[in-house]
Structure 1
Amino acid sequence: MLFVKPAKILSIVIGVLISFLIIFMGFRLMQKVFTRAADTVPRDVVVSEVTGNSVKVGWSTDIESQGVIEYGTSPTALNFYAPEASRTKIHLVDLTLLSPNTTYYFQIRIGDSKADNGGVPWTFSTKTNTNTQQTIIPTSAVVPTISTLVTPTIAEGQPTAIPTQSVSIPNTDSSTVLTCGETDCVKICEKIRAGTGCELNDFYSSKDSCLSKVKLD
């Protein structure tokens, strides 16, 4: 009859327990790795604000991560890169300096993992830039003219002309009716001195020739 030593049995039991522990820890580690990878998978990938030269690409992840968009004009040549600035769960990256009216392809890289649209890159097309030109229709309008106002200048040393007033005394005959109503030279002179109706014109044009009869001081 064969007897197994207790020490040998104990070593076998310990070895089995260690094996189970290693398998369990490996399983948990692999599960955590796969879970972490699944948490960083981009979800709800959206392309928005498309113009002729730029777009915005957004997505979300279950945990904070930092991704890089790899893009290009060919699905097999994604030669341009647009990295995120920081780790986050809600992601938004601007793609700028794009060509108008062009189709682009892109994928998202997070760490060593790449995410695409079921095995092919996502795609978008930029818009066509339209240069709006304004057509100016000529209309008839009055064109203002500018005239120069010449201001006379007086040269130094030249005499200055001073305007004077001249009084012209009309010639009247003896039939002219005098405004002061007097024909007597003395009365005409008195009214002229008093300023009560007669004027010099009455004195000079009176029919009695006041100039030769009365001296007007």
Structure 2
Amino acid sequence: MLNVRRPARGFTLIELMVSLVLALVVMAAVVTLVVAVIRSNRQTLQSTRLNQELRATLNLVANDLRRARSINDPLSAAVGPNPYANIQTPNGNTCAIYGYDGMHGARTWHVLRVDNNGRLGLRSISDATPPANCGDGTFAQLSSNQVDIRTITFQRVPANAPDDFVRQIDVTITGRLADTNPSAPPIERTMRQTVYVRSVGTGI
């Protein structure tokens, strides 16, 4: 008796379609997982970078404010009142006007504020009296182009303290990364730091 070998049975069309659908479902799940991981990593990196940028900017502001009222020769405070005794925070506490760097001759005043482009700037003005407001002019940019500063406030403590008696300023800064991807959700952070201002001359 002859053994007749049957031809190998292949996959049917329905089996192939089911296999294809299952493969597509698995691939879609893998792609979704990969995209979620990439997005999460991107947000983590952006958040870390934003925190670093805001912290650096806030430290720069705090260090400069700590120099307010300082004079080249501390002994000259005994001769007369300190012309830099006042620290002003006009425009709803959104900017700061203060001075340091000398007791005699041309006086230099410093103005800190955020411009319309979201950049923190510092302006130095040589005048006998401090400017009445933050005003316009040429400001040296202090913050990075990668960060949009949304708001900055200089809250005096106590709030009703006179300009020559300000001892503490709570600086609050809010910003976000200048992301070029409009579809990405913006990451925004707010940081706060307390600055204790020295005082020489008037207001001790």
How does the TM-score come out when normalised to structure 1?
0.37
Report which structure shows greater RCO (CA 8 Å, sep ≥6).
2
Q: Which has the higher helix share?
A: 2
